[in-house]
Amino acid sequence: MDNRKTQKIVRGAYSKIAQKQKGCGCGTCGPDAEEFAKSIGYSEAELKAIPDEANLALSCGNPTALASLKKGESVLDLGSGAGFDCFLAATKVGQNGKVIGVDMTPEMIEKARDNAKKDGAKNVEFRLGEIENLPVADNTVDVVISNCVINLSADKPRVFGEIYRVLKPGGRIAISDIALKKELPRKIQENIDAYIGCIGGAILIDKYERMIKASGFENVKITAKRSSACVDPNIEDPMGRAILDGLKKNESLADYAVSIYVEGNK
């Protein structure tokens, strides 16, 4: 399938997820959003500090916890969804800092902007756009964060090229994503529901690291986190079924996929 077609399907799926409020994505379906967030590293205090509706249970880590954000920094969140990590980042960079969320799904942007209005957040802005063509000027951002999104891109090298372009010299990345320990069975690779569920588009950890280094990043470090976070397929939903149907007996998705945390500097 060509890249534009894949992106159109992904956008359609996340548009439906946005409209359903809580939904199925990232290999999960219908978990309690708060419990799910705690299981992947968000504290109760963090969750209390942001609008409830921002957490759609679509994440696979807590990039803001690991990004060491400082007051006054500018942060860009790729695939910001309903604004979950943007609102957290905003509390950390303070009023002199700035957070921009970019998402290609208009319904997600609308939801995030509504959340910002309700929250009275003044230092957060949401822009409609693709992470392969970031609507952000060169050399303007201190930190790029992202949570369970880059696996969904059909052109990942281009995403890292764009991240490099918008970061200030010395700027850093703090990214949560899904990657593979070994190649997925073909049946899963070819299933679009598994792709939407943040598994089918995931690439091998080694390849991920080589790709980031090839974009020019230094001090690249990839840490594998809990293998089950964001990778807990549920047979009741199409994404979970697409994944489980592709596994052999006695196999689990955790044999293949893992949540990773990615660091590096421009």
* Residue ranges that bind ligand SAM, judged by CB under 6 A: 7, 10, 14, 25-26, 56, 58-59, 79-81, 84-85, 103-105, 108, 130-132, 147-149, 152-153, 198
Report the residue number, 100 or 149, with the smaller CB distance to ligand SAM: 149
CB of 185 to ligand SAM, least distance (A): 22
Q: Which is nearer to ligand SAM, 43 or 95 (CB)?
A: 43
Q: How far is the CB of 86 from ligand SAM (least distance, A)?
A: 9
| Residue (109 or 212) nearer to ligand SAM, CB | 109
The string over 164-195, giving b where at least 16 C-beta atoms fall within 10 Å of a residue's C-beta and e elsewhere, is bbbbeeebbbbbbbbbbeeebbeebeebbbbb
Q: What is the largest CA-CA distance in the chain?
A: 54
As given in the structure block, the two tokens for residue 79 are 């695939």
C-alpha–C-alpha distance, residues 163 and 171, integer Å:
10
Q: What is the dihedral of CA 192, 12, 146, 179, to 10 degrees?
A: 0
Query: Of 14 and 256, which CB lies nearer to ligand SAM in the complex structure?
Result: 14
In angstroms, what is the minimal distance from the CB of 202 to ligand SAM? 12
**Cβ closer to ligand SAM: 105 or 191?**
105
In angstroms, what is the minimal distance from the CB of 138 to ligand SAM?
19
**73 φ, ψ (degrees, to nearest 5):** -80, 155
| 137/248 with CB nearer ligand SAM | 137
Smallest separation (angstroms) from ligand SAM to the CB of 91? 16
1 or 72: whose CB is closer to ligand SAM?
1
Instruction: Give 148 or 203: the residue with its C-beta nearer to ligand SAM.
Output: 148
Cβ-based neighbours of 221, under 8 Å, separated by 6 or more: 262, 263, 264
CB of 214 to ligand SAM, least distance (A): 19
Least distance from C-beta 134 to ligand SAM, angstroms? 9
Who's near 126: CB < 8 A, 6+ residues apart? 80, 83, 86, 100, 101, 102, 103, 109, 112, 113, 116
Q: What are phi and psi of 16, to 5 degrees?
A: -65, -40
SS3 91: helix
Closest separation between CB of residue 248 and ligand SAM, Å? 26
Structure tokens at 254: 């955790």
d(CA 163, CA 156): 11
Q: Which residues pair with 29 in a beta bridge?
A: 24
